[in-house]
Amino acid sequence: MDKLLYIECIYGNELVGVNNKINAQCNEFSKHYETTLIYPEENDICIKNFNKLEFDRIYDALRVGKLKRNYNFNGVNRLIKIIKFNLCISKLLVRENPRIIYIRKYNALNFVKTLRNFKRKNNSIIIYEIPTYPYEYELKLKRKYLSYLINKKVDKDMEKLADLIPVVLGQDVTLNCDKYIPMFNGIDIKHIHFKTNNIYEKNKINLIGIANISFWHGYDRVIEGLKNFYSESTKIKVIFNIVGCGKELDNLISLTEKYKLNDYVFFHGEKTGRDLDNIIDYCNIGIGSIANHRKGLRKDSALKNREYCARGIPFVISSRDEAFKNLKYVYKISEDETPVKIEDLIEFYSSIKNENYTTEMRNYAERNLTWETVMEPVVESINKRIVYR
């Protein structure tokens, strides 16, 4: 069995969803190749073999000076840690001698030359995944100009070096060469709770948004919509349940208090496992990312959309998601700053509430959204290159 080394370099608990995605990808790869994942965790480097079920941790390999273990990767110190991480990968390449190297995009400036030399000597296959493409608008919006320049340099070098470049597209763009493989995010469906209680309370609808809350989730659009909705007398009560924390949370709390919507907007904090399942079970509509336009994206591939579908809860999006072209339990709203029209959500739910949508959505997810389905084109492309090398 050929060896595959998966390299990822992300940090922080706020990226739990991304870590779940990477583990799911590695589980899928392990069906075809002996798969090892290397990644940083605080000041340590972790190495996980998915076939042998082995785990190794190199303690303090990324420590910079006298920094505390929970120090965030910022500025020069972050760059030093990435350089140290890349040096560790170089040693692992020599030890493992993988046939396939799968890299989830990061600023690997000092690592490109090492990869180039390793590929030349070992005839390896290099895959470079870009999880959001294009990304330039978001970096410019955040004024991360140095990061933008580094990203462009690394991408240019990796485009020449890589054999395959899987990309999750955020816009309709023309890809430069046949190395690019458009893809979307998948889910590990066996770990996702199926919504067992299809509860409908007369004259009441529960909305739910689950996220590490950021400006592009657009939950403020829902709160603005609720303000408009409750400014007139209504017989239907609409509740918005917000699950999670994040940079945008304080703004949403302030907006709720400003509009005196505390009886209609509830902040549950971070929830996982059965606690999260219990909240979802009494909710009727999920809210996806409804402000992707704020970071320049017009297409969506959010994991949350797929999780809503697997759970069996109808949901709302604004950007186009190729995975749900013909699924009638997905409601698309406008890609702009207008408040969500709550009356339209009520009408949408009224049109489907008597259908067996939970089972239909779960079946759809099993057929179309699993990592096995999503990664199949990538695995096939890798195997073709193995044959012809």
- Spatial CA neighbour of 135 closest among 146, 153, 148: 148
Same domain for 177 and 226, yes or no, is: no
Dump pLDDT digits (tens) for 93-142: 999 999 999 999 887 767 889 999 999 999 999 999 988 766 555 555 55
Is 75 inside any structural domain?
yes
Is 287 inside any structural domain?
yes
6: left (phi over 0), alpha (psi -120 to 50) or beta: beta
Same domain for 156 and 285, yes or no, is: no
Same domain for 221 and 353, yes or no, is: yes
Q: Give me the mean pLDDT over the 3-17 stretch.
A: 77
Same domain for 215 and 105, yes or no, is: no
The domain tally of the chain equals: 2
Is 193 inside any structural domain?
no
Same domain for 359 and 327, yes or no, is: yes
255: left (phi over 0), alpha (psi -120 to 50) or beta: alpha
Is 160 inside any structural domain?
yes
pLDDT at 71 over 50: no
Same domain for 258 and 363, yes or no, is: yes
pLDDT of residue 135: 59
Same domain for 178 and 237, yes or no, is: no
Which range of residues forms the domain containing residue 54? Answer: 3-186+371-388
pLDDT at 215 over 90: yes
pLDDT at 14 over 50: no
Pick 13 or 211 by higher pLDDT.
Answer: 211
374: confidence class by pLDDT, cuts 50, 70, 90: very high
pLDDT of residue 73: 47
Dump pLDDT digits (tens) for 246-299: 999 999 999 999 999 999 999 999 999 999 999 999 999 999 999 999 988 888
Q: How far apart are the first and last CA of the chain?
A: 16
d(CA 43, CA 169): 32
Same domain for 78 and 129, yes or no, is: yes
Sheet holding 3-7, edge to edge: 54-58, 44-49, 34-41, 3-7, 100-104, 125-133, 165-169, 180-183
**The token pair that represents 377 in the structure block:** 């084109």
pLDDT at 146 over 90: no
**The token pair that represents 180 in the structure block:** 């690019």
Same domain for 120 and 161, yes or no, is: yes
| pTM of the predicted model as reported, rounded to 2 decimal places | 0.84
* 131 cis-preceded (ω within 30 degrees of 0): no
Mean of per-residue pLDDT scores for the chain: 89
Is 91 inside any structural domain?
yes
pLDDT of residue 173: 62
Same domain for 29 and 135, yes or no, is: yes
371: confidence class by pLDDT, cuts 50, 70, 90: very high
d(CA 79, CA 59): 19
Is 192 inside any structural domain?
no
Q: Is 319 exposed, middle or buried (0-12, 13-18, 19+ CB in 10 A)?
A: buried
> Residue 129 has what DSSP assignment?
E
Is 23 inside any structural domain?
yes
Is 12 inside any structural domain?
yes
pLDDT of residue 211: 94
Maximum Cα–Cα distance across the chain: 73
pLDDT of residue 137: 54
Q: Which residue carries 């190297």 as its tokens?
A: 101
Same domain for 261 and 358, yes or no, is: yes
pLDDT of residue 204: 95
Same domain for 154 and 21, yes or no, is: yes
Q: Is 288 exposed, middle or buried (0-12, 13-18, 19+ CB in 10 A)?
A: buried
pLDDT of residue 95: 92
**The token pair that represents 265 in the structure block:** 């907007």
pLDDT of residue 305: 96
Q: CATH code at 215?
A: 3.40.50.2000
d(CA 281, CA 313): 9
pLDDT at 77 over 50: yes
Given 3-state DSSP classes, what are the helix, strand and coil percentages for the chain, each rounded to the nearest 5? 45, 20, 35
Dump pLDDT digits (tens) for 302-343: 889 999 999 999 999 999 998 998 899 999 999 999 999 999
